[in-house]
Chains A and B, each alone.
Chain A
Amino acid sequence: MKIYDVAIIGGGVIGTSIARELSRYRLRIGLFEKEEELAFGVSKSNSGIIHPGTQNPDGLIKSRLCVQGNRLTKALAGELSIDLKEVGELVVAFNEEEGSRLIEIKKLGEALKVPGLKIVDKAWLKVHEPNLSDKAIAALYAPTAAIISPYRWVYDFSENAARNGAEIFTGTKVESILPTPPGFEVGTSKGVFRARYVINASGLYADEVSKLVGVNSFSIRPRKGEEFLLDKKEEHLTNHLLFPLPSKNSKGILVTRTSDGNPMIGPTAVDADDKEDLSTTQEGLEKVLEGARRLIPSINENDIIAYFAGLRPVAGDDFIIRHEAEVPGFINVAGIQSPGLTAAPAIALMVCGILKDHGLRLRKKLFFHKHRKKEIHLFAIPLEKTKSLIKKDPGYSDIVCRCEMVSAKEVREAIARGARTMDGIKFRTRAQAGRCHGGFCTTRIMKILSEETGMPLVKVTKRGKNSEIVKKDRSSDE
């Protein structure tokens, strides 16, 4: 039976960032994700914003972790070679009352050491945000807001963690956790293993996993957020991320941008019951359009080219990051909703601290591979570079996805790095995420996936079992 020093349950941004941090030390680490690929849970629907740290109430751990995480993320982005764009954000006020709330928010932010905050006036807004509604009277400018690709962030953490020795298992669901002091015997859908410490970072199911060891102190209630994407041609609609003033439950309907350049409007914030309901709704669309138009009046329904919904794993107002005294060695990292993505590296450090406080020796490795090699995306480099790439490897000249200019070589690399599904390839390469949404490239990608992994075409899935793309292959019908 395999034995790990630390087992991490959950392969989203929290689990993988913890794995990467722990992989600095001489530890046997195992990460277990129930979906077919990493990031297929909560993380894939994240809006990708690295928050400056304003709009978090004083006194909560998430507030401090957000500001710390903002800094750490920027340093890590360089190490792990991910595109992070520091675009800054504006919290926009439309009347006097909101204007005075801005001042409060600024004060709170400064107390939390959020850098660079300043209140800007109508004149500034007219110059720097020309499409913003002229009903806006002022805004709080927070320069340290940034955007990142949330699922690529997960892959970057996990690849680097794996490079440094962590073992990562997908399609592996934890079904039982038996305390066998010191440590646990963990039963999964693919076998049993032992671990000295277990970290529960399982997102929407954190309460159910915690129940497996008898800790029932919290429950996760999903809160749905619907998001709508606009065509990349509208990329310059805004220059900063635009926020209205926050309400009790959410930061409001925003006008932001994905790190791939699509303007995005949303999210809604609706408490739900079903942890699997990722449907978008007509009401959601209407609410989002209303909110978005308040900020940018020129937005209309015809600009929308894609939409999706995510579920925030809510367990009260704050993060739950603690060692559970009644089950020594079990650490809950639960209720990580916004600003979870931002806070991820800071959460990882906090968890390391907790592990250390509870007896785990953290001895640094002699050789820790800090960096991750950036993958090549044809659409992101100048044409002259493309030319030399092609000379080195003609696979780069074989274009599979026309809308996003993704080559067969990049698709094969994504598969080599762990993609096993059509969505996995989409998240890593952008192929199928362009204007035609896979209309032209789907068949080719299916064939490459089949060639590289040996899976028959009828077994190629969108995101794992039961989501196969086609039902029958004539050439295998005899």
Chain B
Amino acid sequence: MTNRDLVVVGGGPAGMAAAVTAAENGVKDILLIERDQYLGGLLNQCVHTGFGIEYFKEVLTGPEYADRFIKKVKSIPDIKVSLRSFVVRLEGDKTLTYLKPGGLHTVRPKALIMATGCREKTREMIHIPGMRPSGVFPAGLAQKLINIEGLLPGENVVIIGSGDIGLIMARRLTLEGASVKAIIEIQPQTRGLVRNIVQCVEDFDIPVYFNHKVLKIHGKDRVEKVSVARVDGQMKEMDGTRFDIECDTVLVSVGLIPENELIEMAGVAIDKKTNSPVSEEVNATSIPGIFVCGNSFKVYDLVDSVTRDSELAGRAAAEYIRNAR
């Protein structure tokens, strides 16, 4: 068991910004834990531009944005990075147990910053009737398959949800040679940025059906088609509006859920509806010295906001450690 000043869980944009800011505010002994074999988190699979417009006043891709922070982290000797490290237990007194290739380690920091990001809402969480064929993917998984593994999830795709991830994937799939048949959005307008509607949907003439919902996914072994219908103000199917779209793939982009199961394990109060920590002050939680930042604190639209939020957390943790002395 080791003691440290600060442990940051998560080496994506949130964790990196928090660790860097904490170091810049005087924290000397920082451990940054990341479960993947690289830093960067989800930015590594976001090969498109749209990052850093506010923070750096530049138009960057996800990996380029991550690279700026990776360089900063590497340049600060006070930050020790532990890759392929997976936190398995967190206790209320901040004792953290993590697995690393070849060993199990425990560490007890004075302050803890959780930057564990989000998971996607899946088809299983929103009841879409039908069978369970292969070919149904959360949009982020489809993005990882294409951009990290070079695998094309499908050739004729229907996307559920017009949020940014769905829109970005519409373009990405089209550029990779797939045909995006439709984007189905239950609300009357898109949840995504206008920029993405223009560059991902209009550029490729992809039909977007607002006020529509997917009633059923057909197909036993592989997706064969989806049934879609218009909905009324109560999100109920309107008679006579049902039609089918043939496809072999369905992408589901219907929302993100903050990953806070670890702090929940430690006894931190969690808002059941949002899965975010109940918080009197920004980034603080019901356990003093445990901070949350980035998407696991609040789901942000832009990574620039994640960075700013995480800098606040880094500063707050630094102050907490200073006062604890």
Residues of A with Cβ closer than 8 Å to B?
Answer: 276-282, 284-285, 301, 304-309, 383, 386-387, 390-391, 394, 397-399, 402, 405, 422, 435-440, 442-443, 447, 457-458, 461-475
Task: Specify which chain B residues have a CB less than 8 angstroms from the CB of A468 in the assembled complex.
Answer: 134, 222
Q: What are some 28 contacts across the A-B interface (CB < 8 A)? A: A278-B131, A278-B220, A279-B131, A279-B216, A305-B125, A307-B127, A308-B132, A383-B88, A386-B88, A387-B104, A391-B103, A397-B100, A397-B102, A399-B88, A437-B124, A438-B141, A439-B138, A443-B145, A458-B151, A462-B221, A466-B222, A467-B134, A467-B221, A467-B222, A470-B145, A470-B151, A471-B153, A475-B150
Shortest Cβ distance from residue B169 to the other chain A in the assembled complex, whole angstroms: 14
Q: Out of A398, A422, A436, which one reaches B84, CB within 8 Å?
A: A398
A439 and B122 form a contact (CB under 8 A):
yes
Known contacts A280-B130, A307-B124, A473-B151; is-contact A390 B141 (Cβ 8 Å): no
Shortest Cβ distance from residue A396 to the other chain B in the assembled complex, whole angstroms: 8
The interface bits of chain B over 32-63 (1 if a CB of A lies within 8 angstroms of the residue's CB, else 0) are: 00010000000000000000000000000000
Contact of B89 with A by CB under 8 A: yes
Known contacts A390-B99, A398-B101, A436-B119; is-contact A471 B129 (Cβ 8 Å): no
Of residues 112 through 137 on chain B, the ones whose CB sits less than 8 Å from some CB of chain A are 119-120, 122-125, 127, 129-134
Shortest Cβ distance from residue A92 to the other chain B in the assembled complex, whole angstroms: 26
Q: Compute how far the CA of A466 lies from the CA of B102 in the bound complex, rounded to whole angstroms.
A: 39
Contact of B148 with A by CB under 8 A: yes
Contact of B161 with A by CB under 8 A: no
Q: Compute how far the CA of A266 lies from the CA of B163 in the bound complex, rounded to whole angstroms.
A: 33
B141 (CB) vs chain A CBs: closest residue: A439
Contact of B25 with A by CB under 8 A: no
Q: Compute how far the CA of A282 lies from the CA of B227 in the bound complex, rounded to whole angstroms.
A: 13
A472 and B101 form a contact (CB under 8 A):
no
Task: Specify which chain A residues have a CB less than 8 angstroms from the CB of B141 in the assembled complex.
Answer: 438-440, 442-443
Shortest Cβ distance from residue A48 to the other chain B in the assembled complex, whole angstroms: 18
Q: Compute how far the CA of A134 lies from the CA of B104 in the bound complex, rounded to whole angstroms.
A: 47
Contact of B152 with A by CB under 8 A: yes
B129 and A282 form a contact (CB under 8 A):
yes
Q: Compute how far the CA of A462 lies from the CA of B35 in the bound complex, rounded to whole angstroms.
A: 26
Task: Specify which chain B residues have a CB less than 8 angstroms from the CB of A467 in the assembled complex.
Answer: 133-134, 221-222
Contact of B4 with A by CB under 8 A: no
Q: Compute how far the CA of A473 lies from the CA of B146 in the bound complex, rounded to whole angstroms.
A: 9
Q: Out of A301, A386, A472, which one reaches B104, CB within 8 Å?
A: A386
Q: A278-B132, A471-B152 are in contact. List 18 more A-B contacts (CB 8 A).
A: A304-B125, A304-B127, A383-B88, A397-B99, A397-B102, A399-B99, A405-B88, A442-B141, A442-B145, A443-B151, A457-B151, A458-B151, A462-B133, A467-B133, A467-B134, A469-B134, A471-B155, A473-B150
Q: Compute how far the CA of A301 lies from the CA of B127 in the bound complex, rounded to whole angstroms.
A: 9
Known contacts A305-B125, A473-B151, A475-B150; is-contact A443 B88 (Cβ 8 Å): no
Contact of B149 with A by CB under 8 A: yes
Shortest Cβ distance from residue B252 to the other chain A in the assembled complex, whole angstroms: 10
A387 (CB) vs chain B CBs: closest residue: B104
Q: Compute how far the CA of A475 lies from the CA of B133 in the bound complex, rounded to whole angstroms.
A: 26
Q: Out of A282, A437, A443, A466, which one reaches B149, CB within 8 Å?
A: A443
Task: Specify which chain A residues have a CB less than 8 angstroms from the CB of B80 in the assembled complex.
Answer: none
Q: Compute how far the CA of A383 lies from the CA of B99 in the bound complex, rounded to whole angstroms.
A: 10
A contact patch SS: mixed
Task: Specify which chain A residues have a CB less than 8 angstroms from the CB of B101 in the assembled complex.
Answer: 394, 397-398
B220 and A436 form a contact (CB under 8 A):
no
B134 and A462 form a contact (CB under 8 A):
yes
Q: Compute how far the CA of A222 lies from the CA of B65 in the bound complex, rounded to whole angstroms.
A: 55
Q: Compute how far the CA of A383 lies from the CA of B265 in the bound complex, rounded to whole angstroms.
A: 15
B133 (CB) vs chain A CBs: closest residue: A467
Task: Specify which chain B residues have a CB less than 8 angstroms from the CB of A436 in the assembled complex.
Answer: 119-120, 122, 138
A232 (CB) vs chain B CBs: closest residue: B261
Shortest Cβ distance from residue B263 to the other chain A in the assembled complex, whole angstroms: 14
A472 and B151 form a contact (CB under 8 A):
yes
A465 (CB) vs chain B CBs: closest residue: B221
B129 (CB) vs chain A CBs: closest residue: A281
Q: Compute how far the CA of A422 lies from the CA of B220 in the bound complex, rounded to whole angstroms.
A: 15
A282 and B127 form a contact (CB under 8 A):
yes
A-B contact count (CB 8 A): 129
B145 and A394 form a contact (CB under 8 A):
no
Q: Compute how far the CA of A469 lies from the CA of B127 in the bound complex, rounded to whole angstroms.
A: 21
A383 and B221 form a contact (CB under 8 A):
no
Contact of B144 with A by CB under 8 A: yes
Known contacts A390-B104, A399-B99, A405-B88; is-contact A285 B131 (Cβ 8 Å): no
B122 and A437 form a contact (CB under 8 A):
yes
Contact of B86 with A by CB under 8 A: yes
Shortest Cβ distance from residue B50 to the other chain A in the assembled complex, whole angstroms: 22
A383 and B97 form a contact (CB under 8 A):
yes
Contact of B154 with A by CB under 8 A: yes
Q: Compute how far the CA of A442 lies from the CA of B122 in the bound complex, rounded to whole angstroms.
A: 13
Closest A-B pairs by Cβ, 6 of them: A474-B150, A462-B134, A466-B221, A472-B152, A467-B221, A467-B134
Contact of B109 with A by CB under 8 A: no
Contact of B314 with A by CB under 8 A: no
Task: Specify which chain A residues have a CB less than 8 angstroms from the CB of B131 in the assembled complex.
Answer: 277-279, 309
Task: Specify which chain B residues have a CB less than 8 angstroms from the CB of A301 in the assembled complex.
Answer: 127
Known contacts A383-B88, A390-B103, A467-B221; is-contact A285 B127 (Cβ 8 Å): yes
A400 (CB) vs chain B CBs: closest residue: B86
Task: Specify which chain B residues have a CB less than 8 angstroms from the CB of A308 in the assembled complex.
Answer: 132
Q: Compute how far the CA of A390 lies from the CA of B120 in the bound complex, rounded to whole angstroms.
A: 31
Contact of B15 with A by CB under 8 A: no
Shortest Cβ distance from residue B82 to the other chain A in the assembled complex, whole angstroms: 12
Task: Specify which chain A residues have a CB less than 8 angstroms from the CB of B35 in the assembled complex.
Answer: 399, 402
Q: Compute how far the CA of A443 lies from the CA of B147 in the bound complex, rounded to whole angstroms.
A: 12
B130 and A279 form a contact (CB under 8 A):
yes
A468 (CB) vs chain B CBs: closest residue: B134
Task: Specify which chain B residues have a CB less than 8 angstroms from the CB of A276 in the assembled complex.
Answer: 220
Q: Compute how far the CA of A101 lies from the CA of B145 in the bound complex, rounded to whole angstroms.
A: 56
Task: Specify which chain A residues have a CB less than 8 angstroms from the CB of B133 in the assembled complex.
Answer: 462, 467
Q: Out of B104, B119, B130, which one reaches A397, CB within 8 Å?
A: B104
Task: Specify which chain A residues have a CB less than 8 angstroms from the CB of B153 in the assembled complex.
Answer: 469-471
Q: Compute how far the CA of A422 lies from the CA of B120 in the bound complex, rounded to whole angstroms.
A: 20
Task: Specify which chain A residues have a CB less than 8 angstroms from the CB of B154 in the assembled complex.
Answer: 470-471
Shortest Cβ distance from residue A374 to the other chain B in the assembled complex, whole angstroms: 21
The interface bits of chain B over 215-245 (1 if a CB of A lies within 8 angstroms of the residue's CB, else 0) are: 1100011100000000000000000000000
Task: Specify which chain B residues have a CB less than 8 angstroms from the CB of A278 in the assembled complex.
Answer: 131-132, 220
B148 and A443 form a contact (CB under 8 A):
yes
Contact of B140 with A by CB under 8 A: yes
B124 (CB) vs chain A CBs: closest residue: A306
Task: Specify which chain B residues have a CB less than 8 angstroms from the CB of A386 in the assembled complex.
Answer: 88, 99, 104
B152 and A470 form a contact (CB under 8 A):
yes
Task: Specify which chain A residues have a CB less than 8 angstroms from the CB of B88 in the assembled complex.
Answer: 383, 386, 399, 405
The interface bits of chain B over 236-258 (1 if a CB of A lies within 8 angstroms of the residue's CB, else 0) are: 00000000000010000000000
A462 (CB) vs chain B CBs: closest residue: B134
Shortest Cβ distance from residue A448 to the other chain B in the assembled complex, whole angstroms: 13
Q: Compute how far the CA of A462 lies from the CA of B221 in the bound complex, rounded to whole angstroms.
A: 8
